[in-house]
A and B are shown apart, each in its own frame.
Chain A
Amino acid sequence: MANRYDDDKFADLVRDFVRGRVNRREFIVRGAQLGLSAAVLARMTRPSRAAANLIDSDPVSPFESPITPERVAFLKTKPYKGTTINVMVCKLTVGDCVKYHVPHWEEATGGKVNVAEIPIETLHTQIFSDLSSGLGKYDAYMPGCWFYGDFFVPDNPYIVPLESFLADPKHSYWDPSQWIPSQGKLYHWNGKLYGALLDGDCQALYYRKDIFDNKEHQDKFKAKYNYDFPAPPKTMKEYHDVADFFTGWDWNGDGENDWGISLHAKVNEQGFFHFLTLSGPYVVSPDNEYYFFNPETMKPLINSEGHLRALEDYVKFLANGPREQIAWTLGQGWNLFLAGHSATEPTWGDLPTLAQDPKTSKVQGKMGAAPVPGTTEAFNPITGQWKKYDLNQVGNTNGGTWHLVLSRLSKKQEATYDFMSFMANKKNAVWNAATGWTGVQPGMKFEYFPPLGDGSVAQWKKLGWNEDDVVEYLSAYYKVLSNPVSQEYLRIPGTAEYWHELDVNVSAVLGGQMQPKAALDATAAAWEKITDRYGREKQKALYKASFA
């Protein structure tokens, strides 16, 4: 575009298109008037189903859209009548989401699905006991993405690739090319697809927009910290100041003192993801992509100067939230924000989706969202140098990105894949991502607004979303997922164990039982032992493969 003025006009146009105020044709015409290629605009806004021989929907399976004619014919035969598949899911909201789709799939195919819900703390054990013992009681499992490496330790991996099933039009249609690349990577191993779309995790910063926009608060902040209120904070220093500012006084006027931040930091309950996310910009930068290991030696990087400064800064946040948050599970952490008592929370997209339920949330329509704040200086643990940046903001895919994988031991792989693909179908995928209690976040382009995808605000509003909240949420979420400087996601064998060591040591620092330096050194020492147990050379090769 020619100038800043046109840039703003295009942003307005996109906003109008997203909100359904202009249609696709008008969007292309007005975009072309601004000097953009009509062909590019048309391509950007193209409905995804144009890629295949698809029909919008068919009464034979009302929960699928789009659908292939071959599938319509296939479903008419009730192909899986008499077939029962067993699926192991995590006892989290994502597990409930899978259960939600079971009757719909059963109705469409005649098959039956038994869903076993396993608590997160024993999920890894249950999955790999079933596989390594050769029992193969389950046809599909729902691992966190950090379990992936363990599936590939045997020469014949425990899970099977999905491409051959995907190519068969009798199964429910879904399009892996729609993945935002950072998300699609987590469903693949060495270039092969192993997972069917369900979840798409990353952590972003969520904040109270109404409180941040309050002029009185902004003035008070400026008086106290001598600079303009950063709404939202872009650096960690700003974030610490904002969290500190909103701590210990009644900024929402309900008679109770409120907090600057809410964390869910319970050990063994995914609490360490906070540290992973918030420490990313201290180590990862345009000059260094490695956060966990030196890929040449498999020596841990976790006790580098950058990680240490990150942990020392992370601990400071404790004073800005309730003391008990170090023992809070996800739900407890979210509750504080949803009840209106916390100004910010760095967490998953569950928070803004849960905020849309007025029964449990006081913050609908008040959600702000932004990428996690960055740093102005990052440590490169490979070269051992600090380097200054204007702003080093780092994307991430931290979380479970929970989805189903197909067991090599399953004797009903066709039927099992069919169930997996049913949930990956666009209609179900959009519903999953837009519905709060499912715990599913958007990882596909079509779930976003144009020009990236073909979603619309109207579609989300229909599912109970506040218009401003969804625009804020998806905009920030995409920025995190598409940041070219992104924190790596560890997927090598033993990741659960590596992360457990980090988890308990970070938790010990939060609990005041260890100093940050000692905790990170202990973590590095434990990681060395784990690497040696699995075999350093093998781990090195798989670490590199996990980047492929």
Chain B
Amino acid sequence: MVARGGHSVAGSSFDRRHTRGRELAALRIRRLERGAAFKYALLLPAVLWVVAFTFFPLISVIHYSFANYVLGEGITGYVGFANYADVLTSEQFWHSIWVTVIYVAVAVPIELVLGFLAAWLVNLGAPGSRAFRTIIGSPLFTLEVAIGYLGVTFFSVQGGLIAVPLGALGIDIPWMSTAWGGIAASILLDVWRWTSFIFIIVLAGLAGISSDLYDAAVLDAKSHWQVMWSLAIPLSWPVITIAVLLRTVECLKVFAIPFALTTGGPGTSTQPFSAMDYLTTIQFFDFGKGSAMGIVFLIMVSAVITLFFKQMRKSLA
């Protein structure tokens, strides 16, 4: 140890006291570390976060789901399972679930295939890859609601950028005036928005595969397609699975694009679950029915995600 002025003070009483102090402090920390309190103290922020933002809202939603709620008056009484019965016998509810399922079942696979192919081509170093990488990412930074409103200008027969040229070619698609047209238009916009998400994740996965493996595979394989099927897909499967899981969870919450594009119509034919729950709970302040709706959907989604995880574990085993 070097004191001020460069004189050694090793062996001085100050140094001994100082060393002893540090040892005691270290001992206390070790004791604390061994003690439960310290562990709990470290966990506390995370626990508080979960209690405040997950546990409390969930309990609150369960509580509301048994109540009759009126704007301006609050809870006016408790109705048992009446809100659940109302939800489970509602045609509109089941239709909104059906719309959501179609949305996920069509949009996610398309995004997966397109995102993977784009990532594969970029990973191969296809010409223009660098520019493509930038361009494909841009929709991801655009607000979904803006994309939905933009869609009106694409699919309207009054000067729509997509509808009018198609109409001129004799392909007259009733994008906005039919259920299937509205869902198809929403899915197209969703694919445009979210393919880049899959692309980015899969590209990272493909980039993680050793170039030695690629070189060996290219020597053995007859084509790039064979390399893709027999090497790239199996080795990036864990990453693909995560991408699909994240995208599926996100897609189950689909709201802004279809709502901005068709406002759920005609009727409620293009209304996904989130839009119905939003209208019930937020627009009309029916917290009781809206909460029951949310709980039913949560149970359904949890079941699907659990199955998904089981399947994922099997495929990775």
Contacts and interface: CB of A to CB of B under 8 A. Distances in A.
- Consensus secondary structure, chain B interface: loop
Given A322-B157, A327-B177, A504 B264 contact: yes
Interface stretch (B27-35, B71-79, B97-105, B296-304): B71-79
Interface string B150-165: 0000001110000000
B279 A513 contact: no
A268 B265 contact: yes
A493 B71 CA distance: 9
Contacts of A513: 179, 266-267, 269
Interface residues of B, number: 33
B222 to A, nearest CB: 50
B265 A507 contact: yes
B186 to A, nearest CB: 13
Interface stretch (B111-119, B133-141, B196-204, B280-288): B280-288
Contacts, number: 110
Given A124-B283, A327-B176, A335-B158, A508 B76 contact: no
B248 interface: no
A512 to B, nearest CB: 8
A324 B177 contact: yes
A500 B278 CA distance: 13
Interface string A493-510: 110110010001101111
Interface in B231-275: 259, 262-269
Interface size class on chain A is 35 or more
Nearest to B72: A153
A510 B92 CA distance: 17
B177 A121 contact: no
Contact of B286 (A505, A514, A533): A533
A335 B156 CA distance: 13
A360 interface: no
A497 B279 CA distance: 9
B268 A332 contact: no
B268, B282, B286: most-surrounded residue (chain A CB, <10 A): B268
B174 interface: yes
Interface in A108-132: 121-122, 124-125, 128-129, 132
Interface in A503-538: 504-505, 507-514, 529, 533-535
A148 interface: no
B177 A535 contact: no
16 contacts: A125-B282, A132-B72, A267-B265, A268-B265, A327-B177, A327-B265, A335-B158, A497-B284, A500-B283, A505-B267, A507-B267, A511-B177, A511-B265, A512-B178, A513-B269, A533-B70
Which 8 residue pairs of A and B lie closest in terms of their CB atoms, listed nearest first? A511-B266, A508-B267, A153-B72, A267-B265, A327-B176, A268-B263, A497-B284, A154-B72
Given A513-B266, A513-B267, 19 more contacts: A121-B283, A124-B283, A125-B282, A154-B73, A266-B265, A324-B174, A327-B176, A327-B182, A332-B156, A500-B284, A504-B264, A505-B267, A508-B267, A511-B178, A511-B269, A512-B178, A533-B68, A533-B286, A535-B70
